[in-house]
Amino acid sequence: MRSRAAATAFALSAALLAACGAEPKLDVQPQSSAPAPAAAQAPAEPAAAPAAAPVETLPAHAAETPAGELPAGHPPIADLPPGHPPMDAAAAAQMPVMVPEVTPGAGQGDQAIAWTAPAGWVAEPPANAMRRAQYRVPGPGGEGECYVFYFGPGQGGTPMANAERWASQFADEKGQPALAAMKTRTEKVGDAQVLFVETRGTFMSGGMMGDQVVPKPGSALLGAVVEGPDASWFFKFTGPETTVTAQRAAFEAMIRSVQHGG
């Protein structure tokens, strides 16, 4: 009886020892050696286009605002495009110049004009393609200069437009183009209609060919637009006012000597 109970106890103890010494079974999943896929990225939105810069509304261009010494063929002052900003005399004198191409044979032979230069005026080679003649003019206030321009048929603008351009190169005491001082008159000289123009003030010299504008106070202008056989010829005399005044009779005598046909 005692031996059976001992045997039963021994068997129970062995079973418990076996149960306690066994390692528990772990539920572990093997890790893959491949990297985990990256998360899909949403496509980037296109960059927004930059907002357009606001357009500045320019003030309406006043018809009476002078445009200064403009290139040949430039529209008259009243015909400048709407919104064109006003300019003072210095800015007007710095307008870029487009030299028109003269048709071969234009202004020559029967289509030319001839004149007699005053005694004492010094003829010089024309400094640029716009000029057909140029002179240094002596006088009590210092030398002046006279240029003769010819641009060909259909070029150069109307006589009055040129008178306004020349006058607008002269500034008044406020620095504005001195159109109020301009005087004009029209005469018949032989076969030609002539517009005479004169003004005075501070001459904004230079600027026509991109050179610096140099203010010259106490200056004056005598000009004439002469009707030629095929196009107008432009005589422009500027200098110190005392010199221009002293040479007025000589200038007008030169214009009245003009003859068609060279």
How many CB atoms sit inside 10 A of residue 260's CB? 17
- Print burial letters for 13-27: b (CB count within 10 Å at least 16), e (below 16): eeeeeeeeeeeeeee
Average pLDDT over every residue of 216-242: 97
- What pLDDT score does 101 carry? 61
Q: With contact defined as beta carbons under 8 Å apart, do 255 and 115 qualify?
A: yes
Residue 148 contacts residue 228 (beta carbons within 8 Å)? no
CATH topology of domain 106-260: Protein Transport Mog1p; Chain A (3.40.1000)
DSSP state of 98: -
* pLDDT at residue 100, rounded to an integer: 54
Burial grade of 33 (CB within 10 A; 0-12, 13-18, 19 or more) = exposed
What does the DSSP 8-state code read for residue 127?
S
pLDDT mean over 101-107: 64
Q: How confident is the model at residue 250 (pLDDT cuts 50, 70, 90)?
A: very high
Tell me if 156 sits within 8 A of 72, measured CB to CB: yes
Mean pLDDT of 54-63: 32
Is the pLDDT score of 15 beyond 60? no
How far apart CA 129 and CA 255 sit, in angstroms, is 22
Report domain extents, the chain.
106-260
The predicted model scores a pTM of 0.63
Q: What is the pLDDT of residues 133-176, one digit of tens each?
A: 999 999 999 999 999 999 999 888 999 999 999 999 999 888 88
Give percent of the chain above pLDDT 70.
58
Does pLDDT of 248 surpass 90?
yes
| Cβ atoms within 10 Å of 145's Cβ, excluding its own | 17
Lowest mean pLDDT among 16-25, 194-203, 214-223, 239-248: 16-25
Is the pLDDT assigned to residue 5 strictly greater than 70? no
Higher pLDDT, 178 or 58: 178
pLDDT at 88: 54
pLDDT value, residue 164: 95
Q: Does the pLDDT value for residue 130 go beyond 90?
A: no
**Which carries the bigger pLDDT value, residue 11 or residue 256?**
256
Inform me whether the pLDDT recorded for 192 exceeds 50: yes
Choice between 12 and 248, residue whose per-residue pLDDT is larger: 248
How many other CB atoms sit within 10 Å of the CB of residue 94? 18
